[in-house]
Amino acid sequence: MTDQIAEAKETIYQVAEDVLEKLAFLFSFREEERGPMDYGSAVVASVSFTGQFKGRLLMAVSSEMLPELAANMLGIEEETSPEEQRDALKELINVICGNLLPEIAGRKQLFNVNTPRILPSGEIEAIISDKNPAATAKLALEEGQCDLILYLDDAGPGVSLEPETPEP
């Protein structure tokens, strides 16, 4: 694994931990050693971006964590609707991505972050099987898990992130 990938992964961890704590009042813990989540039992949001480099960030959260996550963000104790839960996850990935890109590329770079969306399960499998991610961060939440997966389509000049290769 290159130093650049390690730095990107560390940056994803730092940004995600900070945003989860400040926006959703959730403490997270790194789970570097575990394998990927079961994305079939997770809700996965995706946000694409263009700029110095382009790609997309995926955020998978255990389905059972979403009600608490949304309630924390809304500051309510009542049950949240599925729409509110999906909206909360989309806002989380939007804030994480918006904070992540300048940390990786520098604050003088311009990025356009597109509107986040929730991925249907068929699309998740297609993305994951299609290419290797540039970096993956795996977190444990209070009663669930969260994976953040960064894909880069085209690393531009000055960006030396390389695809992560699976461990043998």
Partner 1 sequence: MPLNILIVDDSAVMRSMILKSLRMADLDIEAAHQATNGLEGLSILNAHPIDIDIVIVDINMPVMNGEEMIQRMKENEKTKNIPILVISTEGSQIRKEALRRQGVAFIHKPFSPEQIRDTMNAMVGRT
Q: Between residue 88 and residue 147, which ones bind partner 1 under the rule CB under 8 A?
A: 88, 90-91, 94-95, 97-99, 101-103, 107-115
Q: Is 7 in the site for partner 1 (CB under 8 A)?
A: no
Q: Is 23 in the site for partner 1 (CB under 8 A)?
A: yes
Measured from the CB atom, the residue of 62 and 94 that comes closer to partner 1 is 94
- Note whether 111 and 105 are within 8 A (CB): yes
Q: Which contacts of 61-67 are long-range, i.e. CB under 8 A and separated by 24 or more positions?
A: 61/89, 61/141, 61/144, 61/145, 61/146, 62/37, 62/141, 62/143, 62/144, 62/145, 62/146, 64/143, 64/144, 65/141, 65/142, 65/143, 65/144, 65/145, 65/146
Q: Is 74 in the site for partner 1 (CB under 8 A)?
A: yes
Q: Shortest distance, CB of residue 128 to partner 1, whole angstroms?
A: 25
Binding-site ranges for partner 1 (CB under 8 A):
18-19, 22-23, 70, 73-75, 83-84, 87-88, 90-91, 94-95, 97-99, 101-103, 107-115
